[in-house]
Structure formats: structure tokens, C-alpha cells
Amino acid sequence: MEKGIKKWERFIYLLPAITIMTIVVLYPLLNALYVSFHQWDLATGGKMFFIGWQNYRDTIKDVYFWSGIGRALLFVLMVVPVELVLGTVIAILLNIDIKGQRFFRLIFIVPMMITPIVVALLWRIIYDAQFGILNWLLSLFDIPAQVWLGNPQLAMFSVAMLDIWQNTPFIILLVLAGLQAIPHEVYQAAMVDGAGRWQSFRFITLPYLKNTLLLGAIFRVVDSFRIFDTIFGLTRGGPGRATEVISIYTYKTGFSLFKLGLSACQSFLLLLITLVVTIPLVVSILRSLNARKAVS
């Protein structure tokens, strides 16, 4: 059947997707690239001037840009490993056949379904230094109240806790789906061979979940590297610049200072850095898929 489909026919079937992608991805991307070579300052008249590589030169010399990149990378390192481990453990627990399994699954998925800015506002109340529930909980154990969002040493940790709370369910969902795909026969065969629970997990579950976890890692690395709404709602990048990750800095350049050319340039560099960070993970997935194809 497949051999019967000619090349031009395939193109026609793909045309709607190509058209939509061109409109919503390619055009804005190319337009942003075009804008990035211009000085376009809305606050002072909004006229666009071609300035060549000047925005790129300014950005590369801008210490705040690089410190924003650094904070975003730190944030990724703080949240993604925890979300992957925690998500996998919870998913495995939720996969055990117990009473109320569906209810627990639902409960754990809820945080993911709330809009990030709403989550940020909720957590602002939770983190409130005087009235917040978190400090109240600490007080039960005689631990002094913390200024979660106002202390530069704690602020990024506070944002990370929120992110882990909200995005671990995504990993749970992925891993749960991955676990359903593992054939029971494999476990049964392993049991016959005398494998214990840990060995089954180490040599069956984990290898089967490898691609799922890599996929989850890619999504989470990209998403957390670009984190914006929760930080904007929680700290606006403060105190000082303690939580001013690169997307907050780019937003401020574009939509607070209205330097659209410079902001487009920063966004482009951010895109390139994101690609550099995620390409090894994508390559790893592709290799794994190719290896599986070769085996089968």
C-alpha cells in the first residue's frame, strides 16, 4: 500500500501541517530574526533602523544576559533531576494495583492542570512570611519563619519547589504510560529466572523507560530553561536579580523597555542555547530508537 503513494501525494497530505507550521512557527521565527538586526524602540517613536550585528554584539557583552542564562541553567539543574526521580517513583507507586488507584492518580495530576500564573499567586500566599501556611508548618517544629521570596539565598529554591510541585505530574503521566507498555511476560520470565524486585526494576523497567525518561527530560529541560510565568507571578525576577532568569530578562527588554530588536536578538540566542542543551538528549533518543530497530 505504502509503495503505491507517490512522493507528490505525500506532500499534498502534509500540506495542511506545513501551512500551519509556516504561519505559526516559521514566519514569526524569520520575522524575529529580521527584527533582531534592527533597532526598534517603541518607547521612543517605534521606527525601525537596520543596525547589522550591533544587537548581537551588545547582547554578548551584556553581563545581565549571561547571568540570566546562568540562573536558567541552575534552575534546570535544580528541578529536572528531582522531577524525573520523583515522577518515576510516584508513577511506579501509582502503578501498583491497590484500592483507590484512580483517585490517587487524579490527585497527583491536578497541579499540572492549573494555569502557571494562578499557581504562582497561590504559592505567593503559601510563602507569605507572616501568614503563609509553610511558615506555620515550620513553627509546629519550632523552626524559625523564613522569608521565602524576599531572601536572595532562598528565592530560587522557593521557585524550584513550586516548579517541582507543578511539573512532576507531567513525568508521572509519561512514566505511567511507559509502564503500561512493558509486557508482563518479561517480568514473569524474570521471576522464573529468580530475579528480585530490584533486579526487575534495574534490568527491565528502567531500560524500557529509558526513552520515555529521555523524552520527559527534553520537555522539562526546554520548559524549565524558558520558565517565565511562575517566576513573573512569584518574584518578578527579584529580590535583586536572584530569580531573574533569561526569559524574564528578555521579557523586560522587549515589553518593559520596548527594545524589540534587542529582545528579538536575545530570544534568538536563547533559542540557539536551548538547541545546544537539548540536542545531546535528542541524539541519545534517536540512537536508542535506531538500536532498537536494528535489533528487531
Partner 1 sequence: MKKKIKLGFIVLLIFSLFAMPLTGCSSKDQTKDSSTDNNETVDVAKGILPQKYKGTTINVITTPQIDALIPEFEEATGIKVNSITADYSGTHDKLALDFSTKKGDIDGFKYAYQWYGELIGSQDGVLALDELAKKPGFPELALDDYVPAALDTYGKYNGKLIGLPIIGDVELLVYNKKMFAQAGIKEPPKTWGELVEIGKKLTIDTDGDGVIDQYGFGLMGGRGPQAAGTFTNLFYSHGGTVGYFDQAMKAQFNTPAGTKALSLMAKDLKAIAPPDSNTWDHAEMVNAFSQGRVAMGLIWPGGANESVNPSKSKVASDVGFALSPNNSSLLGGWAMGINKYSKNPEATYLFFSWLTHPLTQVKYAQAGGTPARESTLNNEELVKIYPWFPAIAENLAVSKPFSKLPESEEIIRYMTEAANDAVSGQKTPETAAQELNDRTDKLMKDHGYYK
Cβ atoms of 269 and 250 within 8 Å: the answer is no
Over the window 181 to 220, marking each residue x when it contacts partner 1 by CB under 8 A and - when it does not, the resulting string is ----------------------------------------
For partner 1, the closer CB: 220 or 259: 259
Residue 44 is a binding residue for partner 1 (CB under 8 A): yes
Q: Distance (Å, rounded) from C-alpha 254 to C-alpha 264?
A: 8
Q: Applying CB under 8 A, which of residues 92, 138, 257, 281 lies at the interface with partner 1?
A: 257
Q: Applying CB under 8 A, which of residues 14, 18, 43, 125 lies at the interface with partner 1?
A: 43
- Closest by CA position to 246, among listed 63, 51, 95: 63
- DSSP structure class, residue 39: E
- Closest by CA position to 247, among listed 230, 264, 267: 267
For partner 1, the closer CB: 16 or 144: 144
Residues 152-181 that bind partner 1 (CB under 8 A): 152
Cβ atoms of 232 and 248 within 8 Å: the answer is yes
Burial class of residue 111, CB neighbours in 10 A (0-12, 13-18, 19+): middle
Q: Applying CB under 8 A, which of residues 33, 92, 150, 281 lies at the interface with partner 1?
A: 150
Q: Distance (Å, rounded) from C-alpha 176 to C-alpha 105?
A: 10
Q: Applying CB under 8 A, which of residues 129, 214, 273, 281 lies at the interface with partner 1?
A: 129
For partner 1, the closer CB: 146 or 200: 146
Binding footprint of partner 1 on the chain (CB under 8 A): 42-46, 128-130, 144-145, 147, 149-152, 235-242, 252, 255-258
